Amino acid sequence: MIDDSSRGADGIKLADIDGDALLDIATGWEEGGVTRAYLNPGPADSGEPWSAVTVGHTTSVEDAVWADLDADGATDIVTCCEGDTRTMFVNWAPTDKDRLLSASAWRQEEIPATKDRMQWMYARPVDVDGHNGIDLIAGGKNRDAQLGWLESPPDPCHMEDWRWHPISEAGWIMSILPCDMDHDGDVDILITDRKGPARGCRWLENPGRGAAQSQPWSSHFVGGQDREVMFAAMADLDRDGLEDLLVASKPAEVLYLRRLDATGRRWTESRIAFPANMGGAKGIAAGDIDLDGQLDIVISCEGAVPPKSGVRWLSYGESPFEPTWHGHEISGPAGIKYDQIELLDLDADGDLDVLTCEEQHEAKGLGVVWYENPAR
């Protein structure tokens, strides 16, 4: 357990903010209404609660992501809030690394261009236009929902100068994956959208920098239009040199969207069933869990009321195209509503551990937790 001090831990984002070559964590606590940062103590102490700081009070926070917006060497935290808050905030980090754990050293400001625009779900830092450093790609859900980007001004600390550029209407954004889908040298946006007329998995083609940036972003569907798609992860599952897309899809399956060429326009879709006695699909990640040289899939669930399991990993036998994979327990029955998953070797023993958060166990949630891989 890394932290269980508040209620409703909702998401984890990683970055090395103190320069010790260890990945630290940002998490928003939705029901608790706070955003917290955690400093990785290193392998020997990773199983104990981590040193933490509340960087801001953020009612209905859904996402907290690291981004050094003002390029001062200190990694800030951007929070997306839904509910009635409907605003994004920047929590400015102190440049003095010795003060990272001092709450008073962090400074919170809202981004006026986002205020009451939509229920904000997720944001990702990307330099979209090649000017003024890091911009923010963001998306929301329900009424007025869009996917778009926030243009950084010449001075990113002038909050009133940030500008919102809509890219596409949206229903309920779950994943935002910045990547160069068509290999033309700029950053496109791969998304999963679980609701609405444009639901499914698709990517938005960046029209280019400079004057071209004012042109519409073309939308290209990958698959899942007939499914309620949740979180997604990219991985070359069949080892053909092209990154595929793995999507947790309700009620309880993985969509394996296999990429067929470098253009990003040709895909095939197959499905991998969840094992029995699990909750509904939520998070997904890919990595070699058992060290056999093959990529495995880790899945998390919501609605995993005991005795159902909330987190397991899946392995295949001869081929990743098999419709049924072998399920292996991770969490057991504890926990009801898990979130996205990160795979990293927290105890430095040479295998991938599972980092996630859970927000409904015994009405409070397990909090920010990790599961130690027994492979080594």
What is the band of 87 on the pLDDT scale with cuts at 50, 70, 90? very high
Q: Which two tokens stand for residue 168?
A: 């596409």
- Which pLDDT value is given to residue 323? 87
pTM of the model: 0.96
Written as one string, the DSSP assignment of 276-317 is SSB-EEEEEEEE-SSSSSS-EEEEEEES--TTSBSEEEEE-S
Residue 163 pLDDT grade (very low, low, confident, very high; cuts 50, 70, 90): very high
- Return the SS3 of 21: coil
The answer to the question of residue 281 being in a domain is yes
- Residue 127: C-alpha distances to residues 17, 69, 77, 207 (Å): 19, 10, 16, 14
What string of DSSP letters covers 70-99? T-SS--EEEEEE-TTT--EEEEEPPS-GGG
168, 187, 54: which is closest to 125 by C-alpha? 187
Average pLDDT, the chain: 97
342 within a domain of the structure (yes/no) = yes
Question: At residue 208, does pLDDT exceed 90?
Answer: no
Tokens for 112, please give them: 């006026």
Q: What number is the average pLDDT over the span 227-238?
A: 98
d(CA 62, CA 79): 7
264-320 pLDDT per residue, tens: 999 999 999 999 999 999 999 999 999 999 999 999 999 999 999 999 999 999 999
DSSP letter for each residue of 186-214:
S-EEEEEE-SSTT-EEEEEEP--SGGGGG
- Domain assignment present for 343: yes
CA-wise closest residue to 218 among 263, 172, 254: 263
The answer to whether position 314 is within a domain reads: yes
Mean pLDDT of the region 61-73:
98
**Is pLDDT of 210 > 90?**
no
CATH code where residue 340 lies: 2.115.10.20
Give a yes or no: residue 127 inside a domain: no
Please check whether residue 58 lies inside any domain of the structure.
no
Any bridge partners for residue 357, and if so which? 368
pLDDT of 153 above 90: yes
Q: How large a percentage of the chain has pLDDT more than 90?
A: 96
The domain of 299 spans 227-376
Helix or strand holding residue 343 (H, E): strand 342-344
Number of domains in the chain: 1
